[in-house]
Amino acid sequence: VNEVIQLPRAARAFVSFVALLRVNGFAIAPEQTTAFLEAIALLGPRDPEDIRQAGLATLAPPPERRATYDLLFRIHFLGGEEIPSAEGDDEEIIRLQEEGRGDEEPLLADEINESGEMAVRAEALAERRLIPGGPSEPLRRLAREARARLPRRRGHRRMRARRGPWADLRRTLRELTRNDGEVMRLGRLKRRARPRKMLLLIDVSGSMKARSEDNLDLAHTLVQATPNIEVFTFGTRLTRLTRALRLKRREQALAAASHLVSDWDGGTRIGDALQAFLAVPRFGSYARGAAVVILSDGLERGDLSALRDAVAKLSRRAWRLSWLTPLATGASFVPQTEALTAIHRFVDDMADGGSNAAVVAHVLSLRQRRAA
Amino acid sequence: MAVRANIAGIDSPEALEKALRSAYYLADQGIATAAYLALALGKPLLLEGSPGVGKTEAAKAIAATLGRRLIRLQCYEGIDASAALYEWNYPRQMLAIRQAGDETIDIYGETFLIERPMLAALRAPDSTVLLIDEIDRSDQEFEAFLLEFLSDFQISIPERGTIRATERPVVVLTSNRTRDLHEALRRRCVYHWIDYPTAEREARIVMLRASSVAEATARAIVAAVGKLRREPLSKAPGIAEAVDWAEAATLLNKGGARWPDAFKRSIGVALKDEEDLAFISPRLDALIAEAAA
C-alpha cells in the first residue's frame, strides 16, 4: 500500500492498533490490516471517528466485543483520558477476552451468594487449573464412537443412492451420452444424514463440585467430535464455552474454558439460569430440534415454577431432552427431590450422570432413542 | 485490488447516506461508512443483526442507489451449486440428443445452461447487485463454496471452463447470526453489525415507511417497541414490526377505535409468538399507556 511507504509514521499507529487488538484476542488477518489502511486513506481521515468506523468495518470485531474494541481504540488513539478508572470494570473487559463477557451475557437478577466470602471464593476458583493427564477411557470411547453413534437427522443435501425419491439427472445424462442417447438406468438421489444439533448445559454450582471438572473435560471431547454443538455452564451466571472448547489441545481448551467460568462452586438457581438462556433468542434457537443434555443434580434453591416453565419450554423445542444427575443410580431411579419431581414429566430421559462412563454411555445411546 | 474512491458519483459515506435517503433508507453513520468502504474497496458487504433491523432493505436501497438490478439468492439448508450457480437443462439436452440423429451437437452450449443468481451477477457485474440473504441458514459446505466465489469472483463450470467477472461485482451478504459464520468469510468482507436504531431515528423510519402514520403515533409505537425489546422475549419486534404496528394501529383508529385501544388490539403484528404474548399481556396496558404518554 502506498500510504505505508509515503507516511510510515502515520501508518505505524494504525498497524500497532491492529497489534494491540490481536494481543487482546481479536483474530485479525493481514489482509484485514491492508483493508483497514486503505479504508482510512479513503475516508480522509477527517477525524478519529473515521478511523474507528474504518476499523469496525474492516477489522470486524464481533458485536459482543464492541465495548472492548471501543475502549482499546480510546486508549490507543485518544490517549485514554476518558477511561473511567473508578469501577475497574473496564479493565476487566480487556483482560477477559472471550465471548460471554460482553453485554450479551445475561446476568441473573441478583447474585445468590449468601455471603461476600462466597464471592471471593468463587473468584479465586475462577483461576483454577484442571487436572492434567490424558483423557480417561470413557472419553476415548466417546471420541472413537461419536461419529458412528451420536444422533443424526435427515439433512437437505442430496447424495446419489441406489434408491431414493429423486432422479439424478446429471448422472443419468452423463451415462446417456455414452450410450448413444439411450437411458439405460435412472440414477437416484436421497437425502443425506447429518449430525444432529446438540446442546450441553453444565451445572457448575457447589453441589456439582465433584463432577464439574469431569463434565468440562467431557464437553471438550464432545465439541471436538461433532460439529453442531453448543456448550454452556450455569450457576449464578450463564457462560458460553463453545468457542473456548473448539481449541484442539485439551489442556489449552480446558484452561481457557475454566478461565471463562467465574461462578465455580457457587449457588444455583437453575430455573433462572435456564430462563436467562431461553431469553436470548440466539441461544434459545440452539435448542430447537437439538439433542439437549443437562448435567445437573437439580438441587434448586430458587423458585420451582420458574424451573418448571423453563424446562417445559426447553422440552418443547428440543428433539430429546436428557437430564443426567449424579443422584440417579440404576434404571429404576425415581426422583425424590421436589425440583426433579416437578420437571420429571417434561424430561425424556432422567438418567445417571454420576460418572464419565455413565454420561458417555447415555450420550452414545441417544441415536437409538426415538424423538419424543 | 482496485480501489475506486468514486462509484456512480458517490465519493464519501455522507454522499452515500444522502443517496440512500432518497431511496427511502435512513442509514446511520456506521452502515453508510461500511457500505461506502465495501463499494470502494471492491469487497463484499456482510451485514449481521437481529431479524427485522433492515438488512435486506439496506441491500435493496444500495441497488436502487446505484441504479442496478438486485439479484437475490435466498439461502436455505442444503442449498448447492445447482441452485446458486448454474444448472444444465437436462430435459432439453436429452431431447436435443434424440433429435440430432447423426449430426454432432454441443449439448453444453449456451442454450442448455440455466443461469442461477451467482452466475447472473458474475456475467453482468456492472449492472447488478448480488444479495446473498440469510447466509447463516445454509450449511458449512455452501459457506466454503461461497468463500471461493467471494475471493476470486470466478467460477469454473467443468464442461465450459472458468468464467471470470470483468470487474468486481457488488455483493451484499446478510446473516441473522443463528450460528457463527466461518472466520474466513468474515475476513473477506467489510463487516457491519446493524443494531436497533435510536428512538429518534426509528420514529423517522416509521414515518418514512408508512406515510399515513402521524408523528405522535410513530413516537408512541417506537417507545413501546423499545420497551418490548428490553423484555426477555423469544422474538423481539424489529423495525419492520414497528412499521406494521404503526400502520395497523392507524388503520384501526381510522375505523373508529380509540387510541390506547387501537395499539392494544393490533399488538399481534408486533408480537407473533404466543408465549411472548402471554408473557407480556398482563402488563400490556401499563406499557402502552407509558409509551403513549
- Three-state DSSP at B184 gives helix
DSSP symbols for A80-131: TTT---SS-HHHHHHH--STTSSTTS-B-SS---SSHHHHHHHHHHHTPPPP
C-alpha cell at position A127? 483461576
* Residue A207 to chain B, least CA–CA distance (Å): 28
- Nearest by CB to A42, from B5, B234, B235: name it: B5
* Residue A355 to chain B, least CA–CA distance (Å): 31
Q: Cβ separation of A63 and B48 shorter than 8 Å?
A: yes
- Nearest by CB to B90, from A39, A173, A243: name it: A173
Q: Which amino acid is at A102?
A: G
- Give the separation between CA A248 and CA A225, rounded to whole angstroms: 11
Q: Cβ separation of A279 and B107 shorter than 8 Å?
A: no
A13: phi then psi, degrees, rounded to nearest 5: -65, -35
> Crossing angle for the helix pair A356-365 and A209-225, nearest 10 degrees?
40
Complex ipTM, two decimals?
0.84
Calculate the average pLDDT of chain A: 81
Q: Which residue has the cell 445424462?
A: A173
What pLDDT, on the 0 to 100 scale, is given for residue A130? 52
Q: Cβ separation of B141 and A157 shorter than 8 Å?
A: yes
Give the residues across from A240 on adjacent strands. Answer: A232
- Residues ≥6 apart with Cβ < 8 Å to A247: A253, A256
pLDDT tens-digit readout, A216-269: 999 999 999 998 899 999 887 888 999 889 999 988 898 888 888 878 887 778
The Cα angle at residue A313 between residues A309 and A318, in degrees rounded to 5: 145
Q: Which amino acid is at A90?
A: D
- Give the separation between CA A291 and CA A315, rounded to whole angstroms: 10
Chain A contact for B219, CB < 8 A?
Answer: no
- Nearest by CB to A54, from B37, B77, B232: name it: B37
Residues of chain B with C-beta less than 8 angstroms from the C-beta of A53? 13, 29-30, 33-34
Residues of chain B with C-beta less than 8 angstroms from the C-beta of A56? 30, 33-34, 191-192
Look at residues B274, B275, B208 and name the one whose alpha carbon lies nearest to residue B242. Answer: B208
Which B-chain residues 108-127 have CB contacts (< 8 A) with chain A?
Answer: none
- The residue count for chain B: 293
Residues of chain A with C-beta less than 8 angstroms from the C-beta of B275? 313
Q: Which amino acid is at A359?
A: V
- Give the separation between CA A319 and CA A309, rounded to whole angstroms: 17
What pLDDT, on the 0 to 100 scale, is given for residue A225? 92
- Give the separation between CA A231 and CA B278, rounded to whole angstroms: 29
Q: Are A57 and B191 in contact (CB under 8 A)?
A: yes
- What string of pLDDT tens digits covers the 293 residues of chain B? 467 777 778 889 999 999 999 998 999 999 999 999 999 999 999 999 988 898 999 999 999 999 999 999 999 988 988 899 999 999 898 888 888 877 888 888 889 999 999 999 999 999 999 999 999 999 888 998 898 888 889 888 888 889 899 888 999 999 998 888 888 898 999 999 999 999 999 999 999 988 888 999 999 999 999 999 988 787 889 999 999 999 999 999 998 888 888 888 899 999 988 888 888 888 888 888 888 87
Q: Are A36 and A14 in contact (CB under 8 A)?
A: yes
- The residue count for chain A: 372
Q: Are B249 and B288 in contact (CB under 8 A)?
A: no
DSSP symbols for B24-70: T----HHHHHHHHHHHHHT--EEEEESTTSSHHHHHHHHHHHHT-EE
pTM of the model: 0.81
Torsion sign, CA atoms A241, A69, A124, A298: negative
